[in-house]
C-alpha cells in the first residue's frame, strides 16, 4: 500500500483529506517530519485558511526545504485548496512570499453584479489538460466543490490543468507540471467525482512505485 505524507502545518483539513485517501486505497501519514516526507511514496499538501499564516507556519516548522526536496525528487505531489495557492510566488491576500515553486500570483475575484465572493458550492471543471491522470474516467465538465475567494494565475498558462467559470471570470482551478498536481477545489468534499480524482492520484503513485 502506498504511503502518502499528508503535511501537517496547522492549516489543513487533515481528517477529511485522509479519509478520502484511505477510501482510494492509500495509507496516509499525517506528519510534519522531514524524514517522513522524504521516505513517503507521495506527498499531499492540504490547506484551508489564509495565505500569510499558512506560509508562516510552513517556515516556522522548517517544512519549506523538505517540501521542495520532495518535489525535486520526482515523487507525486498533490496540493489541495490553500495547498495549491502557497506553491506560487505570492498572493493579493497577504504580504508573505509564497514557496515560489510555480511562477505566478494568487489573485482575488473581482466583484461584479450577480456573483458572490467567496466562490462557494458546486461548479464544473473545464479540462485544459484532458489527458491528465487525475481526470481519467471522469465525465466531461464534472462538478466539484469549491470554497475560495482567491485563485491562482500562473505565468505559464500551459500549467493550468482545469479551469472554472464564476460570473464572467474564467480562472485556473487546477495545475499540473511534471510530478506536481494541485487543485483549488476540495476533492474530499466532491462526492464520487472527488473520490475518483483521489483514486487516480493513488493509482499514479502505485504505478510509479512499481516501476
pLDDT confidence of residue 210: 55
Number of domains in the chain: 1
CB 54 within 8 A of CB 82: yes
Nearest by Cα to 176 from 192, 190, 200, 158: 158
Supply the range of the domain harboring residue 128: 3-210
pLDDT digits (tens, 9 = 90+) for 11-23: 877 888 898 899 8
pLDDT confidence of residue 107: 98
18 given a catalytic annotation: no
pLDDT confidence of residue 90: 98
pLDDT confidence of residue 101: 98
Burial 96-112 (b: 16+ CB within 10 A, else e): bebbebbebbbbebeee
Nearest by Cα to 44 from 181, 197, 151, 161: 181
* CATH number for 67: 3.40.50.880
pLDDT confidence of residue 12: 72
pLDDT digits (tens, 9 = 90+) for 126-161: 999 999 999 999 999 999 999 999 999 999 999 999
131 given a catalytic annotation: no
CB 37 within 8 A of CB 43: yes
- Of the residues 148, 166, 177, 186, only one is catalytic, namely 186
Q: How far apart are CA 4 and CA 125, in angstroms?
A: 26
Q: What are phi and psi of 191, to 5 degrees?
A: 55, -145
pLDDT confidence of residue 1: 74
Low-confidence residues of the chain: pLDDT under 50: none
166 given a catalytic annotation: no
- Of the residues 18, 81, 119, 177, only one is catalytic, namely 81
Amino acid at each position: 500500500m502506498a504511503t502518502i505524507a499528508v503535511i501537517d502545518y496547522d492549516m489543513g483539513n487533515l481528517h477529511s483529506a485522509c479519509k478520502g485517501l484511505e477510501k482510494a486505497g492509500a495509507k496516509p501519514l499525517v506528519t510534519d517530519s522531514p524524514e517522513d516526507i522524504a521516505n513517503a511514496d507521495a506527498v499531499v499538501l492540504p490547506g484551508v485558511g489564509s495565505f500569510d499564516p499558512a506560509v508562516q507556519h510552513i517556515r516556522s516548522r522548517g517544512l519549506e526545504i523538505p517540501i521542495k526536496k520532495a518535489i525535486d525528487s520526482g515523487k507525486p505531489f498533490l496540493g489541495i485548496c490553500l495547498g495549491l495557492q502557497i506553491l506560487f510566488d505570492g498572493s493579493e491576500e497577504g504580504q508573505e512570499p509564497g514557496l515560489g515553486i510555480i511562477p505566478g500570483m494568487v489573485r482575488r475575484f473581482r466583484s461584479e453584479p450577480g456573483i458572490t465572493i467567496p466562490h462557494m458550492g458546486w461548479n464544473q471543471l473545464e479540462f485544459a489538460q484532458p489527458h491528465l491522470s487525475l481526470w481519467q474516467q471522469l465525465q466531461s465538465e464534472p462538478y466539484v466543490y469549491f470554497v475560495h475567494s482567491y485563485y491562482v494565475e500562473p505565468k505559464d498558462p500551459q500549467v493550468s490543468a482545469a479551469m472554472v467559470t464564476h460570473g464572467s471570470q474564467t480562472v485556473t482551478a487546477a495545475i499540473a507540471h511534471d510530478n506536481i498536481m494541485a487543485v483549488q477545489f476540495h476533492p474530499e468534499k466532491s462526492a464520487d467525482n472527488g473520490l475518483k480524482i483521489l483514486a487516480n492520484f493513488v493509482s499514479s503513485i502505485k504505478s510509479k512505485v512499481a516501476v
